[in-house]
A and B are shown apart, each in its own frame.
Chain A
Amino acid sequence: MQLYKLSDWLLDAAFLLYVLASVVFIVAMTGKRWSGRDPKQHEARYGRIGYWMTVVGCAAQTGYVITRWIAGGHSPTSNMFEFMAFFDYCIILAYLILYRIYKLPVIGAFVLPLGVIMLAYSYVFPKEITPLIPSLQSYWLYIHVTTAALGEGILAVGFAAGLMYLIMTVPQNVPNKSARWLELVLAVVLMLIGFIGMDSIYARLDQQTVFEVTRPAPGAQGGEVKTEVAYTLPAIVAPADSKLVKEGPITPLFEAPRWMEGKDAARKLNTMIWSVLSGLVLYAVLRLLLRKRLAAAIQPMLADIKPELVDEISYRAISIGYPVFTLGALIFAMIWADQAWGRFWGWDPKEVWALIVWLFYSAYLHLRLSRGWIGAKSAWMSVIGFVMILITLVVVNLVIAGLHSYAGV
């Protein structure tokens, strides 16, 4: 019991340290031109502080992993909260490993905020320690999930460096297609932040809206089934053919189109609308404050870093992450699947998406090594690759039903 509290406390401490480290890294970049400073010295000094804060934060999170493991009796990788927190841990670890190789602390200005977002996202899910259901009771839970998460974490650093490369190199003085796409990527990141913010606020407010939905019963008998759908966020869109049971903060503006009949499809659409809206509001506010494209505002801060080095770091992260990912998310996964389900491969959505990520990074490596796709092209691919990883980790669990759905609880 006490250990469980301690693990929670350690994770909060790690979260706080990552937030602080993000701020310090951003200061390391932005503060270079502050009066009376030597840019090199400033960057080195704040970079070092940020790095050590990250080290301490990572140590705290290691403590969280160990204490929660002992308290729960199994590795903290068994539900969505635990997995996202562990994924975040792997991103930070991967950053620290790559720092040992390249000694470029300011990569942290991109990796650490990414880590903060991922950890904040994990807090959206229920945090209780749940006992393991039979299919998860295997030492492969430790081996498969941790290796897969580590691979994905290293690939995520490849994304952070790729995004940094794009912000550094996409020309901002004239409007162009790349610049617009880059703004879209940043806006999507803001939407994710918007979603996390909205969800954490409303989860605490307890202002649910509940609908009763009538659907034809599955199977041959016919008839109707009534189910209740509860929204955490205020309802903008109601499910088709539904009756309001419990009113929320606002009345729904419209009904979801009829073809969106899947279970909870309307609720997911509602969440999506709120994420997009809040992300766009955040984007608009920032844009008004900065009076230029977000990437254009960040670009000057990265002026004295060599883009080639950042490109190399992104590639290096991917070339290290790829074998680890293959081992954890495909090979170990196959061995476990054979033991637990009696087949090494069954085209379950999670398996398929792991394969998609693998195919995508295989294409990345062939294009880079054999067809000379370096720089911008390869950076864009690292961004798309990360989107695919997020689909695999999040969308597959929450939207597509499958054997891995237990992880969504």
Chain B
Amino acid sequence: MDQRKCECGHTNPIGTLLCESCGKPLEAFGEGQNAFPDMRYEGMARRSQTYTTKWIDKVWNFFSSVKVAIGIILVILIACAIGTIFPQQQYIPVPVPTEQDVARFYSDTYGTLGRFYYELGLHNLYSSWWFATLLVLLGTSLVICSLDRAIPLYKALNKPRLNQHKSFLKGQKVFAETNLPEGTRAEELLEASAAAMRKKGYRIFAADHALLGEKGRFSRWGPYVNHIGLILFLLGVLLRNVPGFYMDKYVWVREGETVPIPDTPYYVKNVAYHTEYWAKEELPVELELEEGFAIPKSYQTDAVLYLNKNADIPGAPPDLVELASGPILVNHPMQYEELSLYQSGFQEMQLGALNFTLVDLKEGNREIGPVKLDLFDPPKEIEVAAGYKVRVLDYFPDFKMGSDGKPITQSNLPNNPMFTLEVIAEEKNISEKMAYLQGTVITQKKDSRYGLKIEMPDLIDITGLNVRVDKALPLIYFGSFVFMVGVVMGFFWQHRRIWVQIQEGKVLIAAHTNKNWYGLRQELQGVLDQLNLPVKVEENSKA
């Protein structure tokens, strides 16, 4: 006889443990190896057991294994842990402008181990191709594991197992058998037990001499719902790689300055930036703070967001329209549609402009007039006084002597400003060149007529704003929400079923739950006590 054909006449797919129709185990069961099949998937055949020959089946079967899924989880876990041994590149606490500086940081700070860490690329572990591959493997496993189990389980649970074979009932962890009490009709008993179960919230399915009470079936979907949540979450993460879904820009804006946000039609203005510190009177308890140390209370930029209406016209001057204005604080970003602006850095008391006084050294240091050199927008020429001009010949905001002996600038931030200037006294027809570097003025001629007296520079605050668009975020949050719903469904409810059948003057009672057997036994005992059946509910030895 075909092994898949049950004696009831139903043909089951390969891999079926319990007949889909009558519930009889398809192989004889006894103790140990041949124990009654596990009820987790209702003894249904899963695709991974039915089809095993083609390569696609092999791939499917690999990913449908919970063992493999656990393996992937543990490998990701170990990878994650390795990534925290030393800081990732983005969290290096000192500036590392070049790749050599990065390498130097790891070997200088952490010695030999640090060097290995860097050389193995572990300093960028979470953005590495192999870590991404692990996440993709996890996602694949989630999808296939869920489909492989959820579909047969749905088929099985959708058609309640009502008139089941005696061996199905006997195989259940909770099973009891007793004689039909004298003088009680089978129908009466079934009716009474249906009523008792209904009172406990069970849904009743009935046929001739057979009864099934079921409740909390939805909790069986908990694991699949939470896996769907995780899949949505991972899809959200993937979506951020699609152009337009995710944008991450950083702009430094001086007080009073309006700058474009790169790759967008938006501009942002820093009206004012200020850091506030907790005052002594505000502290709940007196603290012994070190001299000169204060605890910051707020970092705030008053900002205005503009839209450039001419953004699409190449070469056109920006035509700015105000979209939003107000303070940006940590924890309180400025929102405009999908754009968010975050307070995420600041540089206070930065050099904004250098101030000098032009003096005539030959006339007893006579002061001619002030010279202001804006470091972010240096002037070409300054009228100092009638007949006196200063021209800016060259400007290096972040000066460094290049390897070829020529001056270069390392960045466009004025970290180490260097100017070369020309002083022109038109009436006297004198032109002298001089340079400013690191707090000193060097004149070209040894015995020059004019000099620059250094005055207090203008100090300004610069704010660092992070500009983000993250359109995948709603999906990511929704996925998390679905995950939580699934976990709660699965963990805090249970699927309970109680079968009552009357066969040849015997009452057969069996019960199944997916968890909390203690609770099920209590509930079943309550039902039986109401029916006055002399049965004590106990669990079969089979675990």
Contact = CB atoms under 8 A, between A and B. Distances in A.
Contacts of A326: 483-484, 487
B473 A344 contact: yes
B129 interface: no
12 contacts: A4-B285, A73-B284, A134-B296, A220-B97, A323-B484, A331-B480, A334-B477, A335-B477, A344-B473, A367-B70, A371-B67, A402-B91
Task: Give the 6 A-B CB pairs with smallest separation, nearest first.
Answer: A259-B111, A342-B342, A134-B330, A218-B94, A138-B331, A359-B77
A352 interface: yes
Contact of B88 (A327, A340, A347, A359): A347
Interface in A314-361: 319-320, 322-323, 326-327, 330-331, 334-335, 338-344, 346-349, 352-353, 355-356, 359-360
A133 B487 contact: no
Contact of A349 (B84, B113, B330, B470): B84
A71 B286 CA distance: 12
A303 interface: no
B483 A319 contact: no
B408 interface: no
Given A134-B331, A342-B468, A343-B470, 11 more contacts: A131-B297, A134-B299, A218-B94, A259-B111, A259-B113, A262-B110, A319-B491, A323-B488, A359-B77, A370-B66, A401-B91
Interface of A is mostly: helix
Nearest to B76: A359
Interface of A: 1, 4, 71-73, 128-131, 133-135, 137-138, 140, 216, 218-220, 258-262, 312, 319-320, 322-323, 326-327, 330-331, 334-335, 338-344, 346-349, 352-353, 355-356, 359-360, 362-363, 366-367, 370-371, 374, 396, 400-403
Given A341-B342, A396-B84, A219 B95 contact: yes
A36 B487 CA distance: 50
Contact of A331 (B282, B287, B340, B484): B484
Interface string B78-109: 00110110011011011101000100110011
B330 A260 contact: no
Interface string B310-351: 000000000000000000011111000000101010000000
B101 A262 contact: no
Contacts of B282: 131
Contacts of A1: 285
B333 A339 contact: yes
Contact of A363 (B70, B91, B342): B70
B278 interface: yes
Nearest to A391: B81
B497 to A, nearest CB: 18
A219 B111 contact: no
Nearest to B514: A369
B371 interface: no
B298 interface: yes
B331 A71 contact: no
Nearest to B138: A359
A301 to B, nearest CB: 25
Interface string B465-483: 0101010010011001001
A370 B145 CA distance: 12
A322 B487 contact: yes
A44 B97 CA distance: 68
Given A363-B73, A366-B70, A371-B67, A218 B105 contact: yes
Given A4-B285, A219-B94, A347 B126 contact: yes
B442 interface: no
B492 to A, nearest CB: 8
B434 interface: no
B311 to A, nearest CB: 23
B298 A134 contact: yes
Contact of A130 (B94, B113, B287): B287
B112 interface: yes
B198 to A, nearest CB: 27
A21 B484 CA distance: 36
A371 B113 CA distance: 38
Contact of B285 (A71, A216, A370): A71
A252 to B, nearest CB: 20
Interface residues of B, number: 65
Contacts of B470: 338, 343-344
B295 interface: yes
Given A335-B477, A352-B80, A129 B109 contact: no
A359 B108 CA distance: 33
A65 to B, nearest CB: 15
Contacts of A339: 331-333
B26 interface: no
A218 B97 CA distance: 12
Contacts, number: 150
Contacts of A367: 70
Nearest to A375: B543
Contacts of B480: 330-331, 334
A72 B295 CA distance: 15
A340 B330 contact: yes
Contacts of B476: 334, 344
A342 B333 contact: yes
B77 A137 contact: no
Nearest to A138: B331
A349 B82 CA distance: 10
Contacts of B459: none
A323 B491 contact: yes
Contacts of A322: 487, 491
A259 B112 contact: yes
A271 B56 CA distance: 56
A138 B297 CA distance: 12
A216 B111 CA distance: 12
B148 to A, nearest CB: 12
B91 A131 contact: no
A334 B331 CA distance: 13
A260 B284 CA distance: 40
Contacts of B70: 363, 366-367, 371
B283 interface: yes
A134 B342 contact: no
A142 B508 CA distance: 54
A408 to B, nearest CB: 15
Contacts of A355: 80
Nearest to B74: A363
A401 B77 contact: no
B174 interface: no
Contact of B80 (A134, A320, A340, A359): A359
A335 B473 CA distance: 10
Contacts of B487: 322-323, 326
A352 B83 contact: yes
A347 B331 CA distance: 19
A334 B287 CA distance: 32
B330 A137 contact: yes
A356 B483 contact: no
Interface in B39-90: 40, 66-67, 69-70, 73-74, 76-77, 80-81, 83-84, 87-88, 90
Interface in B239-264: 248
B331 A340 contact: yes
Contacts of B287: 128, 130
A323 B101 CA distance: 43
Contacts of B331: 134-135, 137-138, 140, 339-340
B77 A352 contact: no
B165 to A, nearest CB: 25
B69 A72 contact: no
Nearest to B483: A326
A137 to B, nearest CB: 6
Contacts of B111: 258-261
Given A137-B330, A261-B109, A402-B91, A342 B340 contact: yes
B277 to A, nearest CB: 10
A262 B488 CA distance: 44
A45 to B, nearest CB: 25
Interface string B265-304: 0000000000000100011110100000001111100000
